Structure 1
Amino acid sequence: MATELKGTVPYEETLARLDIRLGRVVEVVPEPSAPRPAYRLTVDFGRYGRRVSVGRFTQHPPEELLGRQVVGVLNFEPRRVGDVLSEVLILGVQLPGAASGEATFLTPAREAKLGSKVF
């Protein structure tokens, strides 16, 4: 079901305020303390360090996520998911036919430098 587009917003007040960067998934483990099925991902953002994210990417087997480059928002406030403090939001899109919130991750078409800014 399609929804209407949201109103226009100035770049300086929205995307320019977010620190969105490229990282690589270096560890994937199920996160049993999350309220819904989820993985705890450790993502390497190069010079910006490794960050933990809890995400609903469980339609992908762990070996499919491991080593993948993903896009993450580094400057959102950390958020507690179950027993884990999720430090970065890995961007994804809803999987068709999957439970609400089940996602597939965004990834570049070609390998790029870890920590690269998304624009």
Structure 2
Amino acid sequence: MATERKDIVAFEDTLGRLDIRLGRIVEAVLEPSAPRPAYRLTIDFGKFGRKVSVGRFTQHASDDLVGRQVVGVLNFEPRQIGAVMSEVLILGVQFPGAASGEATVLVPAHEAKIGGKVF
């Protein structure tokens, strides 16, 4: 389904306010308390520490996620998902052919420095 493009916005009012960094998934386990099937991910952001995220990346086997570099927004307010406080939003896109909300992670084309800022 095609959607209309959104209005143009200033960098300083949008992307310039977000702290988007590269991390590496060190653990991915199913989170039984989530309202829909989801993984509880532990992501290493280097000098920014390890953060927990709950995300609907279950079209991937957990073993396929561990070790992957991912892109996350570090400065969104934490969000309660089931019994877990999700501290960071891992960016993704719709998984092909999967139900709405099922995602695949955004990854860099090459290995890069953990904790590196996305720009």
| TM-score category, normalised to shorter length | over 0.9
CA displacement, residues 68-96 of structure 1 (integer Å, 9 cap, x when unaligned): 00000000000000000000000000112
Partner SS for 1:60: coil
Partner of 1:115: 115
Superposed CA RMSD in Å reads: 0.4
Partner of 2:52: 52
User: Structure 1: how far apart are the matches of 2:63 and 2:2?
Assistant: 32
How do 1:41-80 residues align onto structure 2 when only pairs under 5 Å count? 41-80=41-80
Query: Structure 2 stretches of 5 or more lacking a match?
Result: none
- Per the normalisation by structure 1, the TM-score is 0.99
Partner of 2:20: 20
Partner SS for 1:40: strand
User: Structure 1: how far apart are the matches of 2:2 and 2:82?
Assistant: 31
Q: How many residues align?
A: 119
| Percent identity of equivalent pairs | 76
Query: Structure 1 stretches of 5 or more lacking a match?
Result: none
- Per the normalisation by structure 2, the TM-score is 0.99
Letter in 2 for 1:38: A
CA displacement, residues 5-56 of structure 1 (integer Å, 9 cap, x when unaligned): 1000000000000000000000010000000000000000000000000000
User: Structure 1: how far apart are the matches of 2:2 and 2:88?
Assistant: 28
